[in-house]
Amino acid sequence: MNLGRHSVLGVGVDAIDYDEAVERILTAARNRQWLGLAALPVHAVMTAVLEPAFALDLSRMTLRVPDGQPVRWALAMLHGVRLPDRVYGPELMLRLCARAAREEVPIFLFGSRPRVLDRLRGRLLSRFPGLRIAGAEVGPSGDGAFEPREQDLAAIRASGARLVFVALGCPKQEQWTVRTRDRLAMPVVAVGAAFDFHAGTVAQAPAVLQRFGLEWAFRLAIEPKRLWRRYLLLNPAYAALVGLQKALRIR
């Protein structure tokens, strides 16, 4: 399903489903073409609203999918676009790994921490026995983490990978991804907290909370010191601005 691209607070969001996203990514992998995907929760949309440079980076991505339920709901409220589900980064990663295992597409894991990568590798191989993990690197940290280092890009190319998953945290992972354009001939998929969730190092919200858009409350309860500004300040601002966009009929 592909219902076009529509503005949510000035950010173009692709109204597609999991099947379309997976097919686009695997086609790029088979054809050895760069494709950048950002999975957009409220935090990413609001970061783009507040930081024009990040908004420009997002505009250069191939796909910007509705990761958060409130982003999917905004598509319906503002544009009448009704998707059956969001395209949630952690779930998209699992679906891509399943297809990659069947079609013998090697993957590369980039970002997070050594302990997380070790656990993630083991769990993915256990879940998808045919999956080939060509390599895994922690990647950069600090203020310059968004700028790809040539040694990291060279390691990814030399590994034989045809698909890269990136987990550097928003906005660095999206900034890093878009800067690999013309430097990596493969899809690069930014998946946020997916590495921690699938490694079992961070608890994932129950499905019922995810379905009703309350994943933020669960994550806030788990990591209040790190996430309180993100959710308690940005979520109400997002709701107010989406309401204003609707009232002003801004398309």
Q: In which element (H, E) is residue 42 found?
A: helix 42-50
Give the structural domain span for 226: 2-248
In the chain, how many domains are there?
Answer: 1
pLDDT tens-digit series, residues 82-117: 999 999 999 999 999 999 999 999 999 999 999 999
Residue type, 114: P
Q: Which residue has the tokens 């996430």?
A: 227
Grouping H, G, I as helix, E, B as strand and the rest as coil, residue 55 is helix
CB 99 within 8 A of CB 28: no
Helix ranges (H only) for 60-106 are 69-79, 89-103
132 by Cβ neighbours in 10 Å (0-12 / 13-18 / 19+) ranks as: middle
pLDDT tens-digit series, residues 3-59: 899 999 999 999 999 999 999 999 999 999 999 999 999 999 999 999 999 999 999
